[in-house]
Amino acid sequence: MNHTPESYHPLPLRLPAGLWQELQEHCRRSGESVHHVITSALAEHLDLEHHTLYQVSTSGALVQGVYQGCVRVGDIRRHGDLGLGTFDGLDGEGMMLDGVCWQARGDGSVRVAPDESLAPFWAATHFRADQRHRLTDVRDWADLMDRIDAFRPTANLFVAMRLHGRFTWIRARTACRSAPGTDLATATSHQVEFEWEELDGTLMGFWTPAYARTINVPGYHLHLLSDDHRHGGHVLDLRAAELDLELQLDTQLQLALPETESFLRADLTRDPAAVLSQGLGGKA
């Protein structure tokens, strides 16, 4: 989309005092700008949010230990029905599927995340598949990535994806709550890992271009939610006899940057790719 100055138009608008106060409070709480909220609301009303990736904060901030929740789950769900992220204090893994947000915690439990829960990092999209494929005899994580690579038409767009099927074996991890300011490598050094066999479930997540590595996790980033909603987490490795793959190209990015003190003071000039790869189990 062309974002030259000529592509913007002034909007004369008079809001009732109560709505204006609610808008200001929402922006204070979420870190979003008034421009972003109004644009997003219009796009949603006009059904223009498909192929748009909505993201809270950045991967660079996550690496620096900026885990303070800044956007409510209820607000994130307005911007998508599929996605992933984490929660305040790095308290587990987040999975959004069919508009419901789930939280996989360090003790192995999975629950529906309350709308008032806060997230420091999240990515979501209104998912409508552009491509559908059947994958058979998936040997491991690397094999799965190679298979999906063959369907991506470009290395320069974000790709949202959903995979469903029975996993003959799958290994996932769940981050545990960490103290504010703990860097990602340290925080994930005590992550909890789980393995399951013959598990029916869905993988959801994104492929991010290398040039956007300071914004999102470069490469593939997938989370698991089992069909019985008892298991979930960040995927590390897997095997599957058959998987149904759906892909969506995301051509627009909406980035909500927090105004928390920890974000404003963080040094975001460093390249986070190496730490992300280590912190995410080498599967970034």
Q: Tell me the domain boundaries of the chain.
A: 49-284
Q: Return the pLDDT at 42.
A: 72
- pLDDT, mean over the chain: 87
Q: Return the pLDDT at 47.
A: 55
Q: Return the pLDDT at 55.
A: 94
- What's the chain's Rg over C-alpha atoms? 19
204-229 burial, b at 16+ Cβ within 10 Å, e below that, comes to: bbbbbbeebbbbbbbbbbbbbbbeeb
Tokens, residue 249: 């190209």
Least confident window among 45-59, 122-136, 179-193: 179-193
* pLDDT tens per residue across span 173-186: 998 887 766 767 67
Neighbouring residues of 188: CB distance < 8 A, sequence distance ≥ 6: 173, 175, 278, 279, 280
162-188 burial, b at 16+ Cβ within 10 Å, e below that, comes to: bbbbebeebbbbbbbebeeebbbeebb
Per-residue pLDDT at 122 exceeds 90: yes
Distance from C-alpha of 184 to C-alpha of 174, rounded to nearest angstrom: 13
Q: What is the CATH number of domain 49-284?
A: 3.30.1330.80
Least confident window among 28-32, 165-169, 170-174, 259-263: 28-32
How many CA atoms lie within 13 Å of 202's alpha carbon, on the beta-carbon side?
Answer: 17
